Chains A and B, each alone.
Chain A
Amino acid sequence: MDKTQNNKAWFLVLPVLVIVAFSAVIPLMTVVNYSVNDTFGENEFFWNGLGWFEDMIASDRMHSALGRQVLFSAIILAIEVPLGIFIALHMPKKGFWASFCLVLMALPLLIPFNVVGTIWQIFGRVDIGLLGHGLASIGVDYNYTNDALDAWITIIVMDVWHWTSLVALLCYAGLQSIPQAYYQAARIDQASRWSVFRFIELPKMSGVLLIAVLLRFMDSFMIYTEPFVVTGGGPGNSTTFLSIDLVKMAVGQFDLGPAAAFSIMYFLVILLVSWVFYTVMTTLDNAETK
């Protein structure tokens, strides 16, 4: 749609601007302020320049948290995106069963994050959980509170449980928008199942798929509550992701300076990735409308 050029539209955006500025810009400036100052308590601050940033860039703690975070997000995307597409292709197209599946699939998305953690805690514990007990009774040595690998598997399965539906629902919406004529044409051409997927369904899904990858990347990159409830970042530090480490540092130890420097770098990483995604997305949007 060609838009009218009119700078008065700023007035319409103003309320959003005010409210987001209050809840984003002011706190962010506080963080910036902390990141360049040092304090010995009593609200006295000393200029510390980029000292905290240098410390944090060099610190092993941040490197390992970042490493775990990247690994986690990569695994999550590698499992959830193909699985989501697969599920979407198998969903009923219309009628009662379509609504039935939609409602059940959306259910995990509406459960508070900490309850998701609680569910998996109750489900996975060896003493009372169906999963833990079941695995133990068939002789698998599984205990997510002691074993780092088990903890990782539990958290990954939990995230797949929690969010695959989001990817599936997005792809489903994309699939629904493909006109039947495309499939008929493919049948006349005697296209194989794979080429229908590759040349009709996948291109039509690319837009929503990008949103799905974007949302899943962002949300997995700032995951906090679920691992916090299930493992508390442990055993050891094996499931301490960026957000968990940050909260530990800021609220637990009250190391404001390093935590603030950490926050800003964390934020910049997210900003960079969002920008790449956003650029690709708007380019696609524009290509589609032309």
Chain B
Amino acid sequence: MMRARSSAIVMTVYLLFLLIPIYWLINMSLKTNTEITSTFTLIPATLTFANYVTILTDPSWYMGYVNSLIYVVLNTLISITVALPAAYAFSRYSFMGDKHLFFWLLTNRMSPPAVFALPFFQLYSSVGLFDTHIAVALAHCLFNVPLAVWILEGFMRGVPKEIDETAYIDGYGFGRFFVRIFMPLIASGIGVAAFFCFMFSWVELLLSRTLTSVYAKSIASTMTRTVSASGMDWGVLAAAGVLTIIPGALVIYFVRNYIAKGFALGRV
């Protein structure tokens, strides 16, 4: 009994530690700028949604969200599509150089984006992709494709090889077997991999800021530029922050039962 109570206390303290800064952000987003700078209140004295209205009616703000969502979805689609066959190959076959290749892929997950920012800028400018959604989507493949391969490989390992063999004996070709039988079996793995691609592409700032300027500008860079340009509009900044949390919170809710396994990259 003692143990259950101490656990509850530990978890409460920890969750409070996680939530208080978020509460403060939400609190700020509902205040007017004069209230933020002049008085100090734990809940807004005059509740205002003006900050949210500013964001949702001004194209230079809300297009940031649209742009971000476009390249995040593009990136997730590309990553999963190319990672599926590769993960299958790694989990089922041994071939020349497979271990080296797998390690090389992982190193890309681990390479600092700062190293790649400038070369990316020049590469994408020279092929005319600068400031397009696809440029950011491709750039984020740098770390998302290896991650997707890694996660999917972990999940595919759990599927017994006999299933493949039985399907081939039953006359399935590779393509039909893969799409009709194998993919449903690892559906949760695909979901988790997609979740992680979404997450890492959504939270990344450095590359998306370097590769876009106007048409494909992400919400993350919209926020940093506003900070530097127009002094401090704390209320709008906080509201923009709150709005970036919402997609993440929604996605977490859908994958909540797989999230722990997913973070372990399918290796539990």
Contacts and interface: CB of A to CB of B under 8 A. Distances in A.
A110 B203 contact: yes
Nearest to B250: A110
B20 A130 contact: yes
Contacts of A133: 40
A50 interface: no
A114 B115 contact: no
A114 B204 CA distance: 8
A150 to B, nearest CB: 17
A270 B114 CA distance: 13
A6 interface: yes
Contacts of A244: 114
A27 B119 contact: yes
Interface in A17-59: 17, 19-20, 22-24, 26-28, 30-31
A157 to B, nearest CB: 9
Contacts of A19: 78, 82, 138, 141, 145
A7 interface: yes
A256 to B, nearest CB: 7
Given A87-B10, A92-B11, A128-B234, A271 B119 contact: no
A110 B37 contact: no
A123 B94 CA distance: 52
> Most chain-A Cβ atoms within 10 A of its Cβ — which of B21, B78, B116, B238?
B21
Contacts of B123: 26-27, 30
Contact of B252 (A106, A118, A221): A106
Contact of B14 (A87, A250, A267): A87
B157 A1 contact: yes
Contacts of A1: 91, 157, 161
A114 B240 CA distance: 11
Contacts of B36: 128
B61 interface: no
B106 interface: yes
A224 B161 CA distance: 43
Contacts of B24: 119, 122-123, 129-130
A13 to B, nearest CB: 5
A242 interface: yes
Interface stretch (B47-55, B183-191, B255-263): B255-263
A72 interface: no
Contacts, number: 285
A172 interface: yes
Contact of A274 (B21, B107, B252): B107
B100 to A, nearest CB: 11
Given A16-B145, A92-B11, A128-B28, A7 B108 contact: no
A113 B11 contact: no
Interface string B186-218: 000000000000010011111000100000000
B63 interface: no
Contacts of A271: 107, 110
Interface string B236-256: 011001001101110111001
Contacts of A123: 20-21, 24-25
B220 interface: yes
A118 B238 CA distance: 8
A250 to B, nearest CB: 5
A259 interface: yes
A91 B9 CA distance: 11
A148 interface: no
Interface string A1-18: 101111111101101110
A111 B40 CA distance: 26
Of all A-B residue pairs in the complex, the 8 with the closest CB atoms, nearest first, are A110-B248, A27-B119, A222-B112, A9-B93, A173-B260, A12-B89, A243-B114, A9-B89
Interface of B: 6-7, 10-11, 14-15, 17-22, 24-25, 28, 36-37, 40, 42, 78, 81-83, 85-86, 88-96, 98-99, 101, 103, 105-120, 122-123, 138-139, 141-142, 145-146, 149, 157, 161, 199, 202-206, 210, 219-220, 223-224, 227, 234, 237-238, 241, 244-245, 247-249, 251-253, 256-257, 259-261, 263-265, 267-268
Given A111-B244, A128-B40, 13 more contacts: A3-B92, A9-B95, A10-B95, A10-B96, A13-B85, A20-B105, A28-B115, A30-B122, A99-B256, A218-B110, A222-B110, A243-B112, A251-B210
25 contacts: A5-B93, A10-B95, A12-B88, A16-B86, A16-B105, A20-B142, A90-B10, A90-B11, A104-B18, A106-B252, A106-B256, A107-B252, A110-B202, A110-B249, A111-B245, A111-B248, A113-B205, A170-B264, A173-B260, A208-B264, A222-B110, A243-B113, A251-B117, A270-B107, A274-B107
